[in-house]
Structure 1
Amino acid sequence: MKTFSTALALAGLSSAAFAAAPGKIQREVNFPNYVSGKVIVELTSTSVLGKRDDDVHARFFDELDKRIPSGWSTKKVFNSPIFTGASISLKNADDIAKLAGIKGIKALRPVLHVPRPEVRDLYIPKTSDISQSADLFPPNIMTGSDKVHATGNAGKGIKVGIIDTGIDYTHPALGGAFGPGHKVAGGYDFVGDDYPTSAPVPDDDPLDQCAGHGTHVAGIIAADPNNEFNITGVAYEATLNAYRIFGCTGGTDDDVIVEGLLRAYDDGNDVITLSLGGPDGWSESSSSVVASRIAEKGRVVTIAAGNEGATGPWFTSSPGNGISVISVSSVNNIVTGPLRAVVTSLDYPAIPYFTDGSLNPVPGNVTLPLYALSKDSSVVDDGCNALPASTPDLSKYVTLVRRGTCNFSIKIANIAAKGGKYVLIYNNGGSFSAITTGSDTAALIRDEDGLFLLSQFVAGTQFTVSFPDSGAFVNLPNVANGGLVSDFTTYGPTFEMYFKPAVAAPGGGILSTYPLPLGAFAVASGTSMATPHTAAVAALILKAKGKSAAKGIRDLLETTSKSIPQSLDENAAAQTLTQQGAGLINAYNAITYTTVVTPGELLLNDTANWKSLHTIYIKNTSKKTKTYTLKHVPAGTAITVTPGSIQPAVGPVPQTSDIVANVHLALSKVTVLPGLTFPVIVSISAPKGVDASTVPVVSGHIEIATAGENLHVSYLGALTDLKTVQVIDNTPDLLGVPTPLLIDATGNVQEDATNYTFVGEDFPVIAWRQVFGSAAIKLDLVAADAKITTNLRKRGKIVDLFSWWWPGIFKPAGTFSKVKTVGPLFEYDYLPRNDEVDNPYYETAVPGVFANGTTIPVGQYKTLLRVLKVGGNPAKEEDYEAWLSPVVGVVAA
């Protein structure tokens, strides 16, 4: 499939910010992930011109010289059996159209900017109060990796490639050195410290002592045991290769990711892991395609699902969207390690505390005396009423108040009325975990610590309380959400209805290594932490089962995982699989189970393309006959669109147990002889009477149990025809004005006919908001008197969308809804939906030239925006949403 038009659209992404328009929309280019004028060209691996493979690049570059004399440059050259091509940068972005017709081009995709990996709740402990042995490191217990270690398997002989910020290999827990024979044995730095603000400075040394993310990832995989914090890497005898694609600050471009993937493949890594990505929703980006091809070649590829849980569903990340890769969700650690307040002048241990919703320290690094609002700990409404006039100026104190009766915010407001800023709320027997106060200078402490402080205050003891921003680390049971899916984990599925994320691993509150200059050890949260854990578990499996097991590892991890509940309540339903994937991975189960079940996931699609019949294969690899019991275990059904609205739900996405799939098992019990495989037919149908406008996504497991072994196969499907889901937001709900719209040269919404010279900043900008993804967005020029009836209010392979601009095929006129088009202006493909904060709408300049680079003649026109619905056929007019603009005049300067 030729996907040239997305890159062609980059020609319109050159405008800078202008004056503010009404509502929340600004006149500016708002495609934050597109790198203007930069594209990745995939070439056929054998030239269609009959040339040798070595000539493919040379022939293409010769053609570029002929067609684009104004200037272009090569950024990357890819010459691999996985991917042959190059990334190029054009001096004039409009020249992209001139690539049309070059023989040997297989596909052309835009270069995407990928943000820096995000971690949450990062802090640096200085010393450890952890008394556990290395074999009892909690994340390893969660996935059964400690049991695998007990068998003598720590991943020795398995090579793991880490594509990240680099590694501080001088860290003692990571081997202390670099090169063959060391833990970090190889790798490459593609960018240098100052990228992306400066040009890349590649070299053979992937050392990182300024960023830290990759070092944290490396420790999760392979930190040697018996370090000062007693952390143990999941596969601590594995060999690491580091591929540095981020500088000390900023993000990277996905052509650098592609380069890293290909190098990691060529270096023979058995497992390749990437804790990075950007919201996408589709599986079509260059890095997604390359990562998936590598996985199909028999390498395990694990990629972070993303930390966009608050944004809601249909927001999966690339390259984790690659069809054959393992996209990883995060689960909260079963222990938590809060920072601790220090009591001076008293012989009392530091006091652990939780701040507002997180593990972040109280800011300010202050040291103040303590003042208790009440000397009586039995007062149940402490701080719930206005404080008496006798209360001193609380700005000079850390205020102690008892938990109970009223909201934390009321207590804090009453304290603030007396000048108080720093507040310690001591517990009353409730859960000791992160609380919601609305203030980052208020913290919850244990009841026993509060009672001690109160007793010293009543006794008149002179002491102070301080909140250092780093300190001793201690493990406490995570009674609030330990073992649950981290709320920050991105929700799937993809718009193609692929099962993303695939599995989950520990990622919330993970202690690991960190660059020595930055503190040596750090606690961090994110799917960035869950992904290397999964990669390391894969290394343990490859060590146990052989490297030939790689292609089956995703199925193995999915079927031997443990389903994750929505809450810690005893009878809680399973969390929607759109966020947890198949469940929490278990290395010991994956290695020791003598039953192999395939496939790991059943893709139901949407109601227009529903696949109801599936076959599950149960293989008994033991030497004994086994009897298996099968049953259906539904998970929560995600309500992905807000009822009565077209807006996507925000996280946490609402779930219901009232809507479940109808599952019929041909057999509920089967007996399988040793060495044989038994097929079981499963029929899954969509429930009736569902409000399809809320786009529910149903999911669950087919559980397969025998003595000592519990496996499951996961399923997921959308209970609506996705082609009926509105894509364009024509409501004022979020932005204050309906979209699409044009913004004129003065920054105002254009409502009447307006003339433009298309010189300097005198041109219109088109803006639109998408509440769902689209595989094709087209803007055409039509006659000024054109009229259409706007339609704003079967999943299959997307066919060639872009034939209209090939030489010999390009026609300056076509039709849509019987309206004659003058010519195409631009086209984007595979755009994700917008969110509510970071990228609430798309916006780009209406160009003064057609898509093939020719100037638009002087005259009066309108623009026609068409957006293909998910699953729509690009050849059918009815599968588009369409909008016709006010008149746009093209006049001489």
Structure 2
Amino acid sequence: MACPYIAGALALYIQAKGHQTGPRLKTIFQNNAKPVKNYQSEYAAHVAVQGAGLVNVYDAIKANNWVSPSTLSLNDTANTQKSYRVTIYNNEAKSVTYKLSNAPTLTAIDFEAGNDMMLDAPNYVVDFATAKFSGDLITVGPKSQKTVDITFTPPPKSSAKLFPLFSGYIVFTPQNAGKAATPLMVPYAGAKGSWKEMPIFNIKDPRGGVTLGILNSAGKYITGPTTYNLTDPKQVLTIILPLSTPALLVNVELLAKGSNVEQAKSLGYLYGDSDFGKTPYSLSYLPRNTETANPNGVTQYFTLNWNGQLSDNPSNNLHHAAKAGTYIIRISGLKHFGDPKNFPADYYIFASPEITVVF
């Protein structure tokens, strides 16, 4: 919700209850938020869309108890924990018993089988994560606290190869606090599969989208050895970089012909006109592209028009002409959660056909 609205809601809470720490305020407001259902659906909107839900100042002020942490980030299933522990805090003068339940949302799938490019909008499927509790009924004594362990199982039907995003809400419903008592909520979200294996470049695209490659002066993809004349201003090689997902680091480098593309030493970073100005093509924090033209300004791909210039250092614009000879262009993208220094294991790598540079 809008920042001014939240600021006003917090002011009302502090006026009624007194000063609280920032983390405590966040916990109480998330616990008492109200998830909203999808239009004409029995299921709440995905946590990635609405977070904890709509702010409810009245319930936040009325509440004396809370659950921490107030959100559960489950990571992907390749890196998730065996279980997650939350603590229920009872700040009242009597015991409260809570019944725990799971209110899952629809699962969001952003990929299609055989297609590297992320969909412009996710598909939502009826496939749910399940949650098992160390106790379904938890009684917390007055002015006391109690922990509960939660074990999550990802949606069974959705393929891990499509990196489905699942989410939901753990609901803590008071059983002996009267009809006016409201449940406390803890949203959770996670991904099935290994996020590190999610594609960076759009290479396979049966829907006919723009794919990774190098275009010659005629606008055709280079599929075999080609010759590039640096003295002819009409001859331009255009690197086409459609990013399936955001990239922390993308490098475009020149290698000697016959090189092992995973082990060869770079002869320099390609330098030329790109979507980011004249720069060595070693760029960080690139946004993803889309399958189709996007009215919000998101492009289908990024480009680099190479004029035969190289830069030895990606951090400055000093450059020089490549020598005449035969080369390979290596395009590499750092995998999600990868270590930039762990080359080649943590990179997706593309190698061009041999390109002969002449004068």
Using the size of structure 1 for normalisation, the TM-score is 0.35
Q: Is the alpha carbon distance of 1:736 and 1:587 closer, same or farther for their aligned partners in structure 2, counting shifts above 3 Å? A: closer
Q: Is the 8 Å Cα contact of residues 35 and 52 (structure 2) preserved in structure 1?
A: yes
Q: Is the 8 Å Cα contact of residues 858 and 889 (structure 1) preserved in structure 2?
A: no
- 1:821 aligns with one of 243, 254, 266: 266
Aligned to 2:227: 754
Q: Is the alpha carbon distance of 1:644 and 1:747 closer, same or farther for their aligned partners in structure 2, counting shifts above 3 Å? A: closer
Alignment of 1:411-450 (within 5 A): none
- 2:163 aligns with one of 673, 695, 702: 695
Q: Is the 8 Å Cα contact of residues 114 and 206 (structure 2) preserved in structure 1?
A: no
User: What is the CA deviation profile of residues 487-535 of structure 1, one whole-angstrom value per residue up to 9, with x for unaligned ones?
Assistant: xxxxxxxxxxxxxxxxxx4xxxxxxxxxxxxxxxxxxxxxxxx443334
SS in 2 for 1:866: strand
Alignment of 1:277-296 (within 5 A): none
SS in 2 for 1:829: strand
Q: Is the 8 Å Cα contact of residues 116 and 203 (structure 2) preserved in structure 1?
A: no
Aligned to 1:362: none
User: What is the CA deviation profile of residues 205-251 of structure 1, one whole-angstrom value per residue up to 9, with x for unaligned ones?
Assistant: xxxxxxxxxxxxxxxxxxxxxxxxxxxxxxxxxxxxxxxxxxxxxxx
Aligned to 1:567: 39
- 2:27 aligns with one of 543, 549, 555: 555
Aligned to 1:655: 124
Count of residue pairs brought into register by the alignment: 331
Matched, 1:533 2:5: yes
Q: Is the alpha carbon distance of 1:764 and 1:540 closer, same or farther for their aligned partners in structure 2, counting shifts above 3 Å? A: farther
The AA in structure 2 aligned to 1:607 is T
Aligned to 1:880: 347
> Structure 1 residue 607: deviation in Å?
1.6
> Structure 1 residue 889: deviation in Å?
4.4
- 2:103 aligns with one of 625, 633, 636: 633
SS in 2 for 1:575: coil
The AA in structure 1 aligned to 2:120 is V
Aligned partners of 1:736, 1:574: CA distance in 2, in Å? 33
> Structure 1 residue 703: deviation in Å?
0.4
> Structure 1 residue 689: deviation in Å?
5.5
> Structure 1 residue 547: deviation in Å?
4.8
- 2:92 aligns with one of 622, 642, 661: 622
Gaps of 5+ in 1: 1-504, 506-529, 789-815
Aligned to 1:865: 331
Alignment of 1:355-370 (within 5 A): none
Aligned to 2:277: none
Using the size of structure 2 for normalisation, the TM-score is 0.82
Aligned to 1:289: none
Aligned partners of 1:630, 1:721: CA distance in 2, in Å? 29
Aligned to 1:855: 320
Aligned partners of 1:721, 1:649: CA distance in 2, in Å? 18
Aligned partners of 1:867, 1:758: CA distance in 2, in Å? 31
Give the RMSD, CA atoms, in angstroms: 2.7
Which structure: greater strand fraction?
A: 2
Q: Is the 8 Å Cα contact of residues 604 and 612 (structure 1) preserved in structure 2?
A: no
> Structure 1 residue 539: deviation in Å?
3.3
SS in 2 for 1:858: coil
Q: Is the 8 Å Cα contact of residues 617 and 678 (structure 1) preserved in structure 2?
A: yes
Aligned partners of 2:91, 2:194: CA distance in 1, in Å? 41
Aligned partners of 1:667, 1:577: CA distance in 2, in Å? 24
Aligned to 1:767: 240
Aligned partners of 1:534, 1:557: CA distance in 2, in Å? 10
Aligned to 2:146: 678
Aligned to 2:80: 610
> Structure 1 residue 781: deviation in Å?
0.9
> Structure 1 residue 588: deviation in Å?
1.3
Q: Is the alpha carbon distance of 1:536 and 1:723 closer, same or farther for their aligned partners in structure 2, counting shifts above 3 Å? A: same
The AA in structure 2 aligned to 1:559 is N
> Structure 1 residue 765: deviation in Å?
2.6
Aligned to 1:846: 306
Aligned to 1:704: 172
SS in 2 for 1:709: coil
Which structure: greater helix fraction?
A: 1
> Structure 1 residue 719: deviation in Å?
0.6
Aligned to 1:714: 187
Aligned to 1:246: none
> Structure 1 residue 688: deviation in Å?
4.5
Aligned partners of 2:65, 2:232: CA distance in 1, in Å? 69
Aligned partners of 1:627, 1:726: CA distance in 2, in Å? 46
Q: Is the 8 Å Cα contact of residues 701 and 712 (structure 1) preserved in structure 2?
A: yes
Aligned partners of 1:782, 1:879: CA distance in 2, in Å? 19
